[in-house]
Amino acid sequence: MSLNGIMSSALSALQTNTAALRVVSNNVSNVNTPDYARRVIDFKTLSAGGQLAGVDVSDIQRVVDQYLNQESLAAGASSANYDAQTTVFGQINALLGAPGDGTALTSKLSNVFSALGQAALSPASSSSQLSVLNAFQSLASSISSLSNSLSNVRQQTDGQVATSAASANTLIKQIYDLNQQIKTATASGITDSALQDQRDAALQSLSQLMGVRTATQPDGSASVMTQDGINLVGNGTYAELSYTAGGSNGVYQPIMIQNVNAESGQAFGTAQALDPHLSGGKLAGLIAMRDGTLADLQDELGSFAQGVALSFNAQHNANSAYPPPTTLAGRDTGLLSADALNFTGKMTVAVTDSSGNLVSKIAVDFGAGTLSVNGGAATSFTATVGGFVSALNTALGSNGTASFSNGQLAISATASNGVVVQDDAGTPANRGGYGFSQFFGLNDLFQSSTPSILSTGLSAGDASGLAAGSEIDLSLKGPGGDVVKQTTLTITAGMSIGDVVSALNTAMSGAETFTLNADGSIATAPSATYSGYQLQVSDDTTQRGATGTSFTKLFGIGSNQVAQQGVGFSVAPAISGDPSKLAFARADFSSSGAIVGSNDSSGLLALQKLETAQQTFAAAGAMGRQVTSLGNYAGGLYQDAATRAADVASSKTAQNDRLTEAQSRQSSTSGVSLDEELSHMVIYQQAYSAGARMLTVVDQLYQALLQIQ
């Protein structure tokens, strides 16, 4: 080899080892830089005409393990999923309180029965009545407050969904832009660009929001998609998510995903719901809490509230205060005056003086369609709601009045007299499975924004009473968030209740069926194809007559209706303003003296027995249909919340361990080891020194040649 060849080889050694030392320098300086992958340099032999001609840099590569990268992305998504759920559970647990701590529903319910037990010793005492009323109000306030708080947490969670979707958009666009820059760098022969570290960091951040997987392309770009293959970043395209926070009536629309042409910025293709394709990440966790856990807990609380209202109202309506109240004003039943009465059995409406002595008694026989005053001759009445109320008003004469307006029945006595309404013991009045006073809510103890009685007693032939042009918006949503059916039913003039039910069935095309039961309730069920899907009512502008009650509210249609039972839950105003109106007594029409006694505790004892009475609860949330006591059901609600929280905490620990292990292995592969880099530095330094020494030798040889004469 000539001296020029030796010098060329030595120069190549200097150049390559300089490049190698630059790689080591970059590695050492980034030893603590997050998301930095160490670089390694590869050498290749130079040759000319088959002869060795020194050394050159073959390539500089980032050291990454694609399997570990994918595992880190997947583990990060799962960990973020459960982290998000754990955060929301922290809020839920703070709201629920712990059983026995005095703030839990179970404690509030126990306080009610304790107050009733103490009041039984002196039922006429104003202090006893006030103590019981305070316990009732505390229970009602806790139900209403918890319902409102759960709704607020759900709305906050929904707001985080919108924020996270916006963050995902930013990251997706950032990854696309980095892809373009990396492609340019790769085409220029730069394979270790810092842009790749930035892209990996963006991918890790994106995986915290939603589960993703990637595929590296020959041009250096990376295709990004959801775990099940929905495109997020592709060749010349990227996805854009759209979501607006703020559901209506507890109904939330899915996150929509749309492909965008990167060059034109125009959307193309059909937008689709992203929710069913979210396999992990913060978004999946937030949606699972919003549409799953929080919705279930709201339903369970609503079911508990309904059970409390039905059981306590049944007893309170069956009994009377002492002295009997001057007016019994009912709830908005959603009924119209022209509706068929549809009551069976018998009941009595009595007027008493302020001492509980009988003034007038009206016996009503719904089966016969007659009423009689003070044992007199029976007179017939028209078998409509309005017809009966008119006949009752006539029968009361100068002793009182009866009126029915906007779905509400009111019965009042004149002067300081009182009113007592009581079903017959042998053949009690019955409409839809409820007695006369309870059905109309004449002496209700509890009330809420939604009727607790959903057995309306209406029949298919009754007029719907709904204004033409009003609408009901329905959707059928799957457990994964996919909406398979959305429809709007527009009411036409003259529709009957049966017509509306038929129209609902037609509108849902068999995906959901509606059945009007004999008791006037409406049962709904998804088809076998959509088992597990939920019927949701996003809007209902209908109103039955002038009652202000919509069709879906009246019949409790929609999965979001159960939760509404706890909204605005409170003690009825007539009682909350006057504890003496608590129905602690029971009318005795066989008595020769006062039919309502001042120290009678029959009604109070009936309320107290509800502590162990078995109630029927329909399936709600994760709690199936069951027959149990109010206390046991409330305990089950807390147990459900605790079990869910424990499951999420366990999953979080497992996924955090998985993520830690993946990151540890990834670090051992891609991370910088100072010992290894220092070893490389010594090797490259010595190689550089040897190359430099070789140049010195060549220089000496040239000097020797030049000195030859």
Q: What is the pLDDT of residue 521?
A: 97
pLDDT at 323 over 90: yes
> What rounded mean pLDDT belongs to the chain?
93
**pLDDT tens-digit readout, 594-634:** 999 988 999 999 999 999 999 999 999 999 999 999 999 99
CA distance 147 to 154: 11
**pLDDT tens-digit readout, 425-455:** 999 999 999 999 999 999 999 999 999 999 9
pLDDT at 4 over 90: no
- Rounded to an integer, what is the distance from CA 346 to the centroid of its chain? 44
- CA 146, 147, 153, 157 torsion: positive or negative? positive
Q: What is the pLDDT of residue 515?
A: 97
**pLDDT tens-digit readout, 243-293:** 999 887 788 989 999 999 999 999 999 999 999 999 999 999 999 999 999
Rounded to two decimals, the pTM is 0.91
Q: What is the pLDDT of residue 108?
A: 96
Q: What is the pLDDT of residue 615?
A: 94
Neighbours of 518 (CB within 10 A): 10
CA distance 5 to 14: 14
User: Strand order of the sheet with strand 483-490?
Assistant: 483-490, 471-477, 534-540
Q: Which residues pair with residue 260 across a beta bridge?
A: 238, 267
Q: How confident is the model at residue 588 (pLDDT cuts 50, 70, 90)?
A: very high
Q: Which residues pair with residue 490 across a beta bridge?
A: 471
pLDDT at 505 over 60: yes
Residue 526: which H helix or E strand, with range? strand 522-526
Q: What is the pLDDT of residue 512?
A: 96
